Chain A
Amino acid sequence: MHVVQLHHALHTLNTRVPVYVVSFADLPYYRAWLNGALFEHAPRNIFDNTHFLMDPYLRVYHAYGLGRNSFLRVYGPRILWHYVKLYARGQQLPKMRQDTLQRGGDFVIGHDGRLRLAYVGKDQSDRPKLVTMLEALHVKPSP
């Protein structure tokens, strides 16, 4: 998971920059995700400098140019085939409570308040490389 890898890297490199994780999920779902999916994958102390923010009306997403992806880009043949196989095996298809087409993105902001990195992925799995983010923070990645 991208956000866990990022925090591991910042923690390992002892880089105490604030991280703002923004979600459009409602509060109960956000909390459940944090306590389940996120904190199960990583020790809590690596999130000490992290603020978990809520943007349910997507105002800030939109201010950063983050709209929605197309259905075909998100649910390409690979994903649809995966769902067909699940269905054929009699398994339950995942229920999505949220807008799965909403785009995400990663931004690094410098001391002067200007952007050093602005990355919006091509599809739902596309995130910037960690080394790219660390370079934007002017942190030297480990060899």
Chain B
Amino acid sequence: MSTSAKISPIPSVGQLAPDFVLPSIEGQHMKLSASAKPAVLVFMRHLA
């Protein structure tokens, strides 16, 4: 697991949500800007 990428500041309310493409566990790719909104993003900590 790489942690060398630069960490951006936490985006503020009113700012455009940073776009991304990520794979789902089913193997599909999800692009945020092409997805339905409003939407909720939950970033998990370690899974326990």
Whole-angstrom distance between the alpha carbons of A24 and B17 in the complex? Answer: 19
Taking each of B15, B17, B35, which has the highest tally of chain A beta carbons within 10 Å of its own beta carbon?
B17
| CB 8 Å contact bits of B1-34 with A (1 = contact, 0 = none) | 1110111111111111110101111000010110
B37 contact set on A, CB distance < 8 A? 17-18, 109-113
By a beta-carbon cutoff of 8 Å, the part of chain B in contact with chain A is: 1-3, 5-18, 20, 22-25, 30, 32-33, 35-48
B1 contact set on A, CB distance < 8 A? 24, 56-58, 99
Number of interface residues of A (CB under 8 A): 65
In the complex with contacts A53-B24, A58-B2, A65-B7, A108-B38 CB distance below 8 A: yes
| CB 8 Å contact bits of A100-143 with B (1 = contact, 0 = none) | 10111111111111111110100010000000010001100000
Whole-angstrom distance between the alpha carbons of A51 and B39 in the complex? Answer: 11
In the complex with contacts A29-B47, A34-B25, A21-B16 CB distance below 8 A: no
Q: Is the CB of A62 within 8 A of B11?
A: no
| CB 8 Å contact bits of A64-82 with B (1 = contact, 0 = none) | 1111100000000000000
Asked whether any CB of chain B lies closer than 8 Å to the CB of A63, the reply is yes
